[in-house]
Amino acid sequence: MTYCVTPGCLTPQNSDSDLYCLSCGSKLLLRQRYRALSPIGIGGFGRTFLTVDEDIPGKPSCVIKQFCFPSNGGLILNKAGQLFRKEAERLEQLGEHPQIPKLLAYFEQNKQLYLVQELIEGQNLEQELQQIGLFGEKQIWQLLKDLLPVLKYIHDRQVIHRDIKPANIIHRRSDGKPVLIDFGVAKLLSTTALHHTGTTVGTAEYMASEQIKGKAFPASDLYSLGVSCIHLLTGIAPREMFDIIHNRWAWRHHLPGSIVVSDRLGCILDKLLQNTISERYQSVPEVLEAVNFKPTVAQPVIPKTSTKALASAAKIDYSELRDLLARKKWQEADNKTCDLLCQAIGRRPGYYLQTADIKNLPCEDLLIIDQLWRKFSAGRFGFTVQKQIYQEVEGDYPSFCDRVGWSLHNSSTIKSEFKLKLRLPFTQTPEMPVGHFPSRQWAGGYYWWRHAGTLAAKLEQCSIGH
């Protein structure tokens, strides 16, 4: 079938042998070589068609983008044509990158402007989300590592995409690499050059506030990338995740139980999503530095300082915890630790510490508890041991739980294969996984699983474990 691309044609379907449209009489071959097969996209200022190149023996498939203008808009077409040629040349240069479709041709025909681009075979990320399901943390890390260099490439050439969203990122079937399609610079010729500067280009729910007002910067693309990531993690439309009352993104509230996002990735996404452009990442290299950062982890060293010489800011008596640990009563010592943490912030035993509570724990008390656990377990247990493991797995909470022998979804459950080990004679070396104690039974709140990252940050602030 041959599809007539003339705007307003009432019956665009024609046979392969037709040279002229049976409905409107227009020529069906564009530039005497490109035959449209079917529409694959419609936007406010143009349409996209699946096409074959009749001029090449193999008749390879390609994509044609048509930009439509009013029939009486001669002056408009002239202005748009000037910008069109300039932007087409820029797209041709960008097409040298393997993750950007190549520009094959650009031309004017019947007062319409056309771009011919390489066809990228594969599913876009929106299609993958609908057909396969939510993206996990590892997939988001990989997406950032694969796509950020592409953004750096275009930004280095003074190009801003302006319309980054899952539907404009295709996982190429041949190698699995994400390919960035549908550049906003091409759309821009239909708006900016026609009437006034500052016309919005892009998809509203993925756009930064400055772009909605008509100004786009490299940081605007980074914002759209962040919105795309949280959409892939939650499957929720971006407009439903923005808290208008508090003017912030509340994407964590929409994460299903099966998806756990580490504090490290969460912090990167939060900075990508800052509404104020000055608080956002300003350039791709800044994001890449955060994504590729590998924390250096030192082996925990048991301090020589006596616990008797350490003063507790909350004037807490640690003798009972010391005695339980000295007798290798790990479970009882763990329960006591929970009570002591509550006492350190002025709460009764049994209280579940929230993220804000962890941040307010006195450094001296954390140090004493950590010292005691490490001393009597020969360096196997303690907060700083957990901090080291958390950093080694790069903040991946499921991996952290697996390393320390915790169940992923229940903060008070001990994995069955470790329960018997608690019954060993207290004179034996502890057999529980390194970092298993203190457990997280004291952590609570909606984001209880974030305690590991919050506690690691608190230890860093207190210079514990350096």
For residue 18, indicate whether it is catalytic: no
Residue 384: both structure tokens together: 């700083």
- Fill in the amino acid letter for 9: C
Q: Measured between alpha carbons, how far is 50 from 41 in angstroms, rounded to an integer?
A: 9
H helices of 123-176, in order, are: 125-131, 137-156
**Which residues make Cβ contacts (< 8 Å) with residue 338, sequence separation at least 6?**
349, 438, 441, 442
- Give whole-number Cα distances, 61 to 55, 73, 104, 145, 167, in Å: 11, 32, 12, 30, 20
According to DSSP, the residues that pair with 189 across neighbouring strands are none
- Strand 2-3 with 13-14, pairing: antiparallel
Q: How far apart are CA 6 and CA 110, in angstroms?
A: 9
Between CA 80 and CA 256 the distance in angstroms is: 46
- Chain-centroid distance of CA 245 in Å reads 24
Place of tokens 């457990």: 439
Bridge partners, residue 200, by sequence: none
Which candidate in 18, 156, 163, 365 is catalytic? 163
* DSSP code per residue over 282-297: -SHHHHHHHHH-----
- Give the 3-state secondary structure of residue 67: strand
Query: Could you tell me if 151 and 221 are in contact, meaning their C-beta atoms sit under 8 angstroms apart?
Result: yes
CB atoms within 10 A of CB 447: 17
**Backbone φ and ψ of 154, nearest 5°:** -75, -35
What is the distance between the alpha carbons of residues 385 and 68, in angstroms, rounded to a whole number? 63
Show Cβ contacts of residue 162 under 8 Å, excluding neighbours closer than 6 positions: 183, 184, 185, 187, 188, 201, 202, 211, 216, 220, 221
Token digits of residue 300: 């925990």
What are the Cα distances from residue 245, in Å, to 242, 249, 446? 9, 10, 20
Residue 247 contacts residue 275 (beta carbons within 8 Å): yes
Report the largest interatomic distance among the alpha carbons of the chain, rounded to a whole angstrom: 96
Q: Which residues are catalytic?
A: 163
